[in-house]
A and B are shown apart, each in its own frame.
Chain A
Amino acid sequence: MSRSARPLTSARVLHKIKELTTPASDVKYVTNRNPRNLERLRIAYKPSGYHLEKPGRSYWHTLEINTSGRYVNADVKHFENGTILSASTSEWAIKQQLFKTNDTSAFVNLGQVLAQRCLHAGITEMTCNVEAVAGSKLEKLLQAVEANGISFKEPSRLPNTQPWDAYRHEKPWEVSEQSETSVTQNKQK
């Protein structure tokens, strides 16, 4: 009886999956343990299954802003690790230079501080589902964050291209900056 005539059993499927997922013994493998590496290379898993919710949870990093009667807090959240980075006008470091902790200039300055902290932490892209009224101080905060080098567009996951697919996607790790000048320009004096 040939293979095709036999009914497919779950054991056979499991065996095939195991075969696919075990690395070949003759190939040299290395593992990069950096948990943020695959996110930077756009390969990492993004949560799925929340598409019925609005705005959904398909992100690696997202920006959350909470305003209270007196202060404003901005948090960067990771889908697994929760809050990883935060800035608030209730912090002494920021508050000591402000006139009021919840006026427009406080919002704008908080945006600048948050952007600086994100850049220091190597987080340059995140989603932002904050709905700001046009012209409000919240919108000015978001604009300040974007003006200081943070992008609110997180790249999508890189689809796993198969040989028979029509198109190939550009792989982020094969793109490199050729000129050294562009690297050094951004560095602070």
Chain B
Amino acid sequence: MSFSNLLMKTGANGGLRSSQTAALALLNVSARQGHTLRGKPPGVARTLEQRLRDENVIDPEVTARINIGFPQLKPSRSAQLKERLEHLKAQRSSKELEQLARSNKLVIDLEKVQQAYVQTTGQHDLRLLADHYGIFEHLFGSAYFVPRVPLTIRYELDANTSSPVYNGNVIKPVEALKAPVVSFDGQLDPITGKTATEGDSYWTLLLTNPDAHYTNGEAECLHWFISNIPNGKLNEGEVLAEYLPPFPPKGVGYQRMVFVLYKQTARLDLSAHKVDDKDHVNLEKRNFSTLQFYRQHQDKLTPAGLAFYQSNWDESLTAFYHNVLQLKEPVFEYDFLKPYLADQKFFPLKQAFNLYMDKHRDIKQVNKEYLQRKLAQTHPFDGPEPALRFPNAHPIRDVPSWLRTEIRKRRLGTGRVQDY
């Protein structure tokens, strides 16, 4: 009896399947107790991944990106390979190294790895990471570049300690109060990757924050601007905007601070972008758009270096807002999606009426009641009543059950009471 039932069901699901496949399916499929498949069976229906891919199709022509950076002249592969193979051969024949490796005591020099990484594949990886952090999208629109000049940036805290800037690490505002120490090879030719010996090269360094603007979401905040840096000597450059430390407000989260190094073709007059000393803390004057700036000077400037870090609020910023920026400290709160509530009913069944009503009442009225109740129990000089040591041990008598639950929740500190 049950067998024939099953046959009928698989027949209904499979549609035009032959009896042979139905019988095969019978062997594999266990009995579906009263359930039928909704939609196509797995294997026939598209997977979630496929459906999402079809829904979010990207047109490659629309999203095509342009490389605005320097091209790279690769060194001769055969010469490089010869040198490398020799080195590896020496490594393999080294007795001490073998001993260290076989006894699992070989510890490689991480600093040396980092140096070689920066010289070889590191800058390509930095481009990927910058894309992950949305740096190019928010600074240059549909353009990108592969950084060719490695930047070394450190925020010096005291004589021995410093916070280095890499690509996305977190540096607190208290560590970034003073201008960082920036160094790079100013004689480096970004195309060949070799140090040029003759002729002066000029560079521009910009520090901007693409997340800091309160009125215009597209604008950036200019934190530091030095142009005409001769041969990488930062202190000889022309400072167009003095360094301003990061000031991410409370509640906004992590903001990106992006250093971009441009190579100039010659000495440039960028004084149109100058921020005067008297406007040092005038945030309106520090509005900046990297894209506009680049469009204006793209014939003479080429982006060559990139480094960035993230920063979020800390206690030191309260004083910074009050004393330096002369502003009231802003505090933000994440705006969570409000819940969807079904239309109110006359007779909501199977629900506690007081909770149901609280959901639909004016929130200001609810707040007022909770606050009034709290203040009524607070002595103006002695403060609030001390909490009960065993809140559930005190009997609640002669009250309806909903009120008993309410009182119990109030005593235990669960539910709405926590908000006041």
Contacts and interface: CB of A to CB of B under 8 A. Distances in A.
Contacts of A119: 169
Nearest to B248: A32
Contacts of A97: 91, 108-109, 112-113
A99 B314 contact: no
Interface string A11-30: 01000110011010000111
B314 A177 contact: yes
B175 A38 contact: no
Given A20-B338, A20-B340, A98-B106, A184 B157 contact: yes
Contacts of A68: none
Contacts of A96: 84, 87-88, 91, 116
A153 B92 CA distance: 38
B255 to A, nearest CB: 6
Nearest to B155: A187
Interface in B87-136: 87-88, 91-92, 94, 97-98, 100-102, 104-110, 112-117, 119-122, 125, 128-129, 131-134
B175 A99 contact: no
Given A34-B254, A38-B253, A93 B91 contact: no
A178 B314 CA distance: 8
B133 A164 contact: no
A98 B101 contact: yes
Given A160-B336, A164-B355, A164-B415, A4 B346 contact: yes
Interface string A132-172: 00000000000000000000000000001111111110010
B211 A167 contact: no
Nearest to A188: B164
Q: Is the interface of A mostly helix, strand, loop or mixed?
A: loop
A33 B254 contact: no
Contacts of B175: 183-184, 187
Contacts of A95: 88
Given A4-B343, A20-B338, A99-B97, A31 B217 contact: yes
A86 B170 contact: no
A92 B48 contact: no
Contact of B335 (A29, A35, A41, A104): A29
B310 interface: yes
Contact of A121 (B168, B211, B315): B168
A24 to B, nearest CB: 9
A99 B128 contact: no
Nearest to B310: A122
A183 B355 CA distance: 45
B116 to A, nearest CB: 4
A91 B117 contact: yes
A10 interface: no
Given A4-B343, A34-B256, A180-B174, A99 B98 contact: yes
Contacts of A58: none
Nearest to B166: A120
Contacts of A55: none
Nearest to B92: A99
Nearest to B175: A183
B281 interface: no
Interface in A91-128: 91-100, 103-106, 108-109, 112-113, 116, 119-123
A73 interface: no
A124 B180 CA distance: 24
A23 to B, nearest CB: 7
Contacts of B409: 166
Nearest to A83: B128
Interface of B: 48, 84, 87-88, 91-92, 94, 97-98, 100-102, 104-110, 112-117, 119-122, 125, 128-129, 131-134, 138, 157, 160-164, 166-170, 172, 174-175, 210-211, 213-214, 217, 249-256, 309-310, 312-315, 332, 334-340, 342-346, 355, 358-359, 363, 366, 409, 414-416, 418-419
Interface of A: 3-4, 8, 12, 16-17, 20-21, 23, 28-38, 40-41, 43, 49-50, 78, 81, 83-86, 91-100, 103-106, 108-109, 112-113, 116, 119-123, 160-168, 171, 173, 176-178, 180, 183-184, 187-189
19 contacts: A16-B340, A30-B332, A34-B211, A36-B310, A38-B253, A85-B128, A85-B129, A92-B84, A93-B113, A96-B88, A97-B108, A99-B97, A120-B169, A122-B167, A122-B170, A163-B416, A173-B312, A183-B175, A189-B161
Given A81-B131, A168-B419, A173-B313, 15 more contacts: A31-B217, A32-B252, A34-B253, A93-B114, A93-B117, A96-B84, A99-B101, A113-B108, A113-B110, A122-B170, A163-B416, A166-B409, A183-B172, A188-B164, A189-B162
